[in-house]
Structure 1
Amino acid sequence: MKESKKEVFITSTIVLYNNDIEVVQKAINSFLDTSIKVELFLIDNSPSDSLKKLVNDHRINYFHNPSNPGFGAGHNIAIKKAILSKSDYHLILNPDVYFDKGVIESLLDYSQSDSSIGIVMPKVLYPNGNIQYTCKLLPTPIDLFVRRFIPFDKIKQKMDYRYEVKFSGYDKIMDIPFLSGCFMFCKTSVLEEFGGFDEAFFMYYEDLDLTRRVHGKYKTMFYPKVHVYHIFERASYKNKLLLKKHIKSVFTYFNKWGWFFDFDRIKINKRVIKNIKEIG
């Protein structure tokens, strides 16, 4: 029997670090604008607690964490609290994402329609309405190196057409092994089973690692029937410190999963491409 929405409890995390208050407020308002029972955890990794002023609703819990253990570790704090509070679903939400009323309800309906679904991500748009290509295959070292350091657009475009599954048209429901961490609607029991994010990743590619682990047992779905907006500033392209963290995460990922002899990557990517083409 399908579970009633009124019986469902959804938690969410936003990890903060010196963010623009107005931008974060839009994300908070988007999540709280629902009749479903919800609770939001703000994990503030900033040096000061000036963002505490964002707590303006009884459904918000604020935790100041100035040691700044990283993006994934910050989310793990809230994931543990979500597990203890017995939430049914947990939304991993970026502070620069916002969306219309009804998105949570649609994702809940879809997630409840199939017990084998572990994570769902909606279509992600830039504020101007253009698509962000947030569905990806499992990367090779060449994929990530070329995308970040090779200045030839034609080479990048050819690689991205495959790597970002642009050939799909982004209009199909697809089982994808690498979903963006900007918006992940997760079954809380699945996060508990896999232990949340791997805290070896301080920032960048923790979403790849988590999706890949979950994808090995559950469906990790792209659901384009609803959309969210993501400002997405590509901070590592502008900040040398973040670029170093980006590169370190690349090494962390490939040291964990394999560099050029990741045979599971080959099998998974072939299967994903085949399934997308069969959808038509």
Structure 2
Amino acid sequence: MNQGPVPAGARALDAAPLLSVSIVVYRPDLAMLERTLETLAAALRRLGLAEKTPLYLIDNGAPEQAAPVPDAARRDLFELHELRGHGNVGYGRGHNLALDQACSRYYLVLNPDIEVDENALREALDFLEAHREAGLLSPLIREDNGEQAFLCRRYPSVLDLFVRGFLPVPLRRPFARRLAHYEMRDVMDAKRVFWDPPIVSGCFMLFRTETLKRLDGFDPRYFLYFEDYDLSLRTRKLARVVFVPEVEVIHHGGGAANKGLKHIMLFAQSAWIFFRRFGWKWL
């Protein structure tokens, strides 16, 4: 029976890729970036997709400092898009450059220091297909040593951020109970799905693209730090956020205090923007 022509919008939806991935780099560790892309490719193979996955590599370095593209980015699994020459516009703005071009059903914001478990994307997309209310998925993030990193957070106080970000580990001990509460250790573990954590880490954020576009991506006022806090809180106004421990990654990152005075100043500047927008909580 003739059903008539398929609407143009439906044809576009059917033709859209399942997933897009964006990675912002600035003078990256090339060996680590290669590892990130290798593990991402392995996870994509487990999906068994017929189409290539758009991969947006956004280089925020100056044109004369542009990083070479890793060999892993040129594999047949990827439809590579190189965005460079715009200078250091900041982490969030860099991802937004790619989001403007994306038309996939799902969109992965990924750090260049992440190792993706080979089953992570399959588990994540299966979960999102089964739970239409979820707009943002956060994985179980492990440290280099394999221990769980508690990167889902409750709304922070200024004291929480200072202790967690800048005090040496021995000096944090009197604040251990407080930090455990901030890091949601009382309700989160490596076995249970947890719905609606207030804040999730920006190192791996898997969105429904429609949700992320409705939010206009990251707030460009943040150059570095707190853009994921901001985006998490805004996402909760449109859709549910969910932590899914079956989705695993390893994060090789570090805190602002370990990166010098410039990063400390950027951290403080972004914290000021965040608290002015969402409300100050000192203690």
TM-score, normalised on structure 1?
A: 0.85
Q: Deviations over 1:143-181 (max 9, x none)?
A: 223323456322331111111011124232112110000
- Is contact 1:122-1:225 (8 Å) kept? yes
Q: What percentage of aligned pairs have identical amino acids?
A: 28
1:32 corresponding residue in structure 2 = 41
Which deviates the most, 92-101 or 227-236? 227-236
Matched, 1:198 2:219: yes
C-alpha spacing 1:260/1:103, structure 2 compared with 1 (3 Å): closer
Structure 2 residue identity aligned to 1:255: R
Secondary structure, counterpart of 1:107 in structure 2: helix
2:101 to 61, 69, 81: 81
Deviation per CA, 1:224-246, whole angstroms, max 9, x where unpaired?
Answer: 11211111122443311011000
Alignment of 1:161-240 (within 5 A): 161-170=180-189, 171-174=191-194, 175-240=196-261
**Structure 1 counterpart of 2:92, one-letter code:** G
Match of 1:51 in 2: 68
The answer (yes or no) to whether the contact 1:98–1:230 under 8 Å persists in 2 is yes
The SS at the match of 1:135 is coil
Q: CA RMSD in A?
A: 2.1
Equivalenced residues, count: 254
Q: Is the 8 A contact 2:152 2:183 kept in 1?
A: yes
Give the aligned partner of residue 174 of structure 2.
Answer: 155
Structure 2, unaligned runs of 5 or more:
1-13
Aligned ranges for residues 89-100 of structure 1 at < 5 Å?
A: 89-100=106-117
> Scaled by the length of structure 2, what TM-score is found?
0.84
- Alpha-carbon shift at residue 10 of structure 1 (Å): 0.2
Q: For residue 50 of structure 1, report the CA deviation from its aligned partner.
A: 3.0
- CA shift for structure 1 position 94: 0.3
CA contact (8 A) 2:34 2:70 kept: no
Which of 134-143 and 69-78 deviates more?
134-143
2:131 aligned to which of 104, 114, 137: 114
Letter in 2 for 1:120: L
- Please say if residues 165 and 256 of structure 2, whose CA atoms lie closer than 8 Å, have aligned partners that are also in contact: no
